[in-house]
Chains A and B, each alone.
Chain A
Amino acid sequence: MTVGIVIVSHSPDVAKGAADMVRQMVGNDVPLGFCGGNPDGGLGTSVEKILAAIDAAWSEDGIAILVDLGGAETNSEMAIEMLPEEKQKKIVICNAPVVEGAVMAATEAWGGGSLADVKRTAEELAPQ
């Protein structure tokens, strides 16, 4: 059982770079999805891409989403709302820095942590 991680950034490069860090540091055992950019290829986020990233990382144990700025969060919330209710309950958005949070969350997920454990680990990183 492994919680999946989804990375949502305004920039496709940031999203891919953060995903690369997770892959290199934590490995390929954690389900991972990422997306960045608006449908026109510019900076931004898109509900459709977020839905695809959630799908790519889907795990019955849950999905932890890491977002960067404003629209990434609101669009992620919209994406979650479009999913069936039983899936919605298994998805959380972490209040954590996207790159560092993704690595921390993935490490906790790799170790078999629950969705709540994964979210807490990512958020533990917040400035104190």
Chain B
Amino acid sequence: MSGTAEGSVVITHDVGLHARPSVKLTKLAKGFSSTLEIGASADGPWIDAKSIVKVMAMKAKQNSTLFVRAAGADAQAAVEAVIGLVRRDFDEAGDGH
């Protein structure tokens, strides 16, 4: 079974998608078999969420919207997981790091 899914979420974390959040997002993404991509706009450019270098280079800032899309057997779960992580501020207290 295969499918596609997409969604978006506003980054509320203090410093945006910086080092630690990027590692967390990448680690989460690697747990899914679907291709999983993120972008700063609904039209792309899309980058591979499983590539730590590309995710970190994106430098997505606080209050910017992160667009997520996936294709594959667990596409829906993958998109929901990424959005959940961002909504939870990457499971970090906002301590300015």
A103: which of B23, B30, B51 is its contact (CB, 8 Å)? Answer: B23
Complex Cα gap A85–B30 (Å):
33
Q: Are B26 and A107 in contact, CB atoms less than 8 angstroms apart? A: yes
Complex interface: chain B residues within 8 A of A125 (CB): 53
Residues of A in contact, count (CB < 8 Å): 13
Asked if A25 is at the interface (CB within 8 A of a chain B CB), the reply is yes
Interface size class of B (residues with CB under 8 A): 10 to 19
Asked if B13 is at the interface (CB within 8 A of a chain A CB), the reply is no
**B residues in contact (CB < 8 Å) with A:** 19-20, 23, 26-27, 30, 50-53, 56
Complex Cα gap A67–B92 (Å):
31
Q: Are B23 and A124 in contact, CB atoms less than 8 angstroms apart? A: no
Closest to A111 in B: B30
A interface secondary structure, majority: helix
A111: which of B20, B50, B53 is its contact (CB, 8 Å)? Answer: B50
Distance in angstroms from A52 CB to nearest chain B CB is 27
Complex Cα gap A112–B30 (Å):
9
Complex Cα gap A104–B27 (Å):
11
Given contacts A108-B52, A124-B53, contact A103 B26 (CB under 8 A): no
Closest to B55 in A: A107
Given contacts A104-B53, A121-B51, A121-B52, contact A111 B26 (CB under 8 A): yes
Asked if A110 is at the interface (CB within 8 A of a chain B CB), the reply is yes
Q: Are B23 and A26 in contact, CB atoms less than 8 angstroms apart? A: yes
Closest to A107 in B: B52
Q: Mark A80-121, 1 if CB is under 8 A from B, else 0.
A: 000000000000000000000001100110111000000001
